[in-house]
Structure 1
Amino acid sequence: MTRTNLMLCASLAALGFAASAANADKLTLYCSAEEEWCQAMARGFEDATGIDVNMTRKSSGETFAQLRAEASNPKGDVWWGGTGDPHLQAAEEGLSQEYISPMRDQLHPWAIAQAESAGNKTIGIYSGALGYGYNNDLLAANNLPEPACWKDLLKPEYKGHVQMANPNSSGTAYTTLASMVQLFGEDEGFEFMKGLHANINQYTKSGSAPIKAAGRGETTIGIVFMHDAVAQAVAGFPVTVVAPCEGTGYEIGSMSIIEGARNLEEAQKFYDWALSAEAQNLALEANSYQLMSNVNAQSSDKAPDMSKIKLIDYDFVKYGSSDERKRLLQKWDEEVSVLPQ
């Protein structure tokens, strides 16, 4: 065989390998849960199916913004995790697509209700109540009283001791804003947010960052979903978890297949697998303490007991709508974030 023929064969072989690699099963996953849980889900699906997963972790607000930016040329296949409000908004704006999984008969009613409210363009995968946690050592060192209610956080002695995320980037913080409006009424809810703003030392990008900072002793109080505070306490940090006395909002963490997904078959396989008890049990391995949507999924005795928490009747349809979300965030930007601290 001539040198030219050898080079031609090598080139053809390389092209064949490249084509094979390009055709290999793969999935692009956008994940809005904790990094450890996101990694567990990506690797678990790879192990279960042999499908390669390219996973990117961002907060739910950031991921929603990315879906919007990529709408004309979608790059992701599945969006898994994060608060349900932006998933509902994505469904409303045509950024996700309808899919009815054969796993639905294994789910709690609240997970299916989430799907039905969005034309089956999203579905509930976990639930968790909003609250806050505080660092016991810092509270004692600063001679501060133990807070038990939302309005306790407005007291002057907590100035500079409270941290929460920015509701523009964080689903947790948007749930906080929407919860205060529903709990106290819009006028009083915004007065609460203004009073809270005076005591905030930092608005973080990530929803769970405030309680991690509290665990490390960088802030005294972190407003988060209670399961994130539990995770810090279980990890050995001096954190006490609070279910506020007035009542509180909650999330239905959700999953959506992205409209225009390039790997639709793989996306549907992930969707079905992620609703299985086997996949949802990975939450405990990743030290996540939400209530999972599969009725057969395991739960930890350390997880917050939702039945014992005073929950508001959170209006997911209204506060997950594009117009309402945009209006509340704009009002927060114009009336709260600009105030001096």
Structure 2
Amino acid sequence: MSTRFVKGSIAALVSLLATNAFAAQEVTVYTAFETDILAKYKNAFEAENPDISIKWVRDSTGIMTAKLLAEKNNPQAEVVWGLAGSSMALLKNEGILSTYTPNGVDELRASLNDPEGEQAWFGNDAFFNAICFNEIVAKQHNLPMPKSWEDLTNPVYKGHISMPNPASSGTGYMQVSAWLQNMGEDQGWSYMQKLDDNIAHYTHSGSKPCVEAGMGEVAIGISMASRGAKLKTQGAPLEVITPAGIGWESEAVGLVKESEAAKRVVDWSISKAANELYVEMYPVVGHKEVEATVAHFPDVETNMAEMDFARMGNERADVLKKWAAKFDAKSEPRS
């Protein structure tokens, strides 16, 4: 055998091994995380797991939940990471999520996890609603600063408020559910009817109403508190208000397909390293040892509504059907 042949064979073998070593296994992850944080989470995971790559499929909570339900008999997702607890409860009930106990689960705050036996989902963070109030626009229109949900039904705010469509946005649905659970069914629907009189439009994004308020397109956006805090940090003339009965949810992770690579994504998503990324945007995260103060984030814990995530999931279809019949006419066109 010639030396040239041996050298050529070794080079080919080394090349083949190198190709296989760097051909990372792709895991499809469905998410409703905000678009601007996906790269950060993907890069951090892949830095620790170079043999696995994440393929994000992202949409708003309502659309992503509907997609997962539609694909029930032919699942395309392997992991769901960053979806509302109420949606996760529904997906578990439909048999879409697999029961799985990730490594490190004992280090998590139990209040953000699946409350039932045979757990299938685990909290990454808690996200909250807020009223984003543009002080400059308010001054131009002589609008007082609201302090309660009832204040928003004042006719002075007519045409100055936007909020998310609850069918498209988990942010919207969790506030609708908070009103219904804490005010009672009749009073909750009555309240939303009065509020609708003042609504300029409903958006298909949970963060958009706050962005609109920050840009002065509306005076008030019922939206994500984290988005309001971030915009205020960037200089937007916003007051971020959390009245009593503010809606909130656990944003969670769960396993769909039981591959080893998918399990490693779930394991990493509840790790301390992952939680140290979540806490950059959310003051309440899943890991017991991770906490921080987020700049301009309002006091939320004293005004949190009592939320039953299982009820939210079970009632979702009926609530959204009733909401659409009453209020969908003011929703923005879908892009």
> Which category of TM-score, normalised to the shorter sequence, fits these structures?
0.7 to 0.9
Q: Does 1:264 align with 2:259?
A: yes
CA apart distance, 1:44: 1.2
- The secondary structure found in structure 2 opposite 1:212 is helix
Instruction: Structure 1: give runs of 5+ residues left out of the alignment.
Output: 1-12
Q: Deviations over 1:108-159 (max 9, x none)?
A: 1212xx3233731111111133221111111111111111110111111111
Q: Deviations over 1:207-249 (max 9, x none)?
A: 11110111111111111232222122112211111111x4323
Q: Does 1:337 align with 2:328?
A: yes
Match of 1:4 in 2: none
- Is residue 279–residue 285 contact of structure 2 (8 Å, CA) maintained in 1? no
1:298-309 pair list within 5 angstroms: 298-302=291-295, 303-307=297-301, 309=302
Q: Does 1:283 align with 2:246?
A: no
- The secondary structure found in structure 1 opposite 2:328 is coil
1:297 to 265, 290, 295: 290
- Is residue 98–residue 119 contact of structure 1 (8 Å, CA) maintained in 2? yes
1:225-264 pair list within 5 angstroms: 225-244=224-243, 246-258=244-256, 261=257, 264=259
Q: One-letter code of the match for 2:318?
A: R
- Is residue 163–residue 222 contact of structure 1 (8 Å, CA) maintained in 2? yes
CA apart distance, 1:335: 2.8
Distance 1:339 1:64 in 2: 23
- Is residue 121–residue 256 contact of structure 1 (8 Å, CA) maintained in 2? yes
Distance 2:100 2:283 in 1: 24
- Is residue 82–residue 124 contact of structure 2 (8 Å, CA) maintained in 1? yes
- Is residue 59–residue 169 contact of structure 1 (8 Å, CA) maintained in 2? yes
Instruction: Structure 2: give runs of 5+ residues left out of the alignment.
Output: 1-12
- Is residue 242–residue 300 contact of structure 2 (8 Å, CA) maintained in 1? no
- Is residue 38–residue 57 contact of structure 1 (8 Å, CA) maintained in 2? no
Distance 1:301 1:30 in 2: 26
Match of 1:203 in 2: 202
Match of 1:313 in 2: 306
Distance 1:164 1:55 in 2: 26
Distance 1:253 1:304 in 2: 19
Q: One-letter code of the match for 2:165?
A: N
- The secondary structure found in structure 2 opposite 1:56 is strand
Distance 1:118 1:61 in 2: 26
Q: Alignment length, in residue pairs?
A: 316
- The secondary structure found in structure 2 opposite 1:251 is strand
Distance 1:250 1:101 in 2: 24
Q: Does 1:30 align with 2:30?
A: yes
Q: Does 1:189 align with 2:165?
A: no
- Is residue 277–residue 298 contact of structure 1 (8 Å, CA) maintained in 2? no
Match of 1:71 in 2: 72
Match of 1:110 in 2: 111
Structure 1 consecutive aligned stretches of length 4 or more whose deviation exceeds 4 Å: 19-23
Distance 2:310 2:325 in 1: 24
Distance 2:294 2:323 in 1: 37
Distance 1:62 1:220 in 2: 27
Distance 2:168 2:115 in 1: 26
Q: One-letter code of the match for 2:203?
A: T
Distance 2:288 2:240 in 1: 25
* Inter-CA distance 59–301: structure 2 relative to 1 (3 Å threshold): closer
TM-score between the two structures when normalised by the length of structure 2: 0.87
Distance 1:242 1:43 in 2: 33
- Is residue 161–residue 220 contact of structure 1 (8 Å, CA) maintained in 2? yes
RMSD: 2.4
Bigger shift: 203-212 or 220-229? Answer: 220-229
- The secondary structure found in structure 2 opposite 1:332 is helix
- Is residue 60–residue 170 contact of structure 1 (8 Å, CA) maintained in 2? yes
- Is residue 281–residue 297 contact of structure 1 (8 Å, CA) maintained in 2? yes
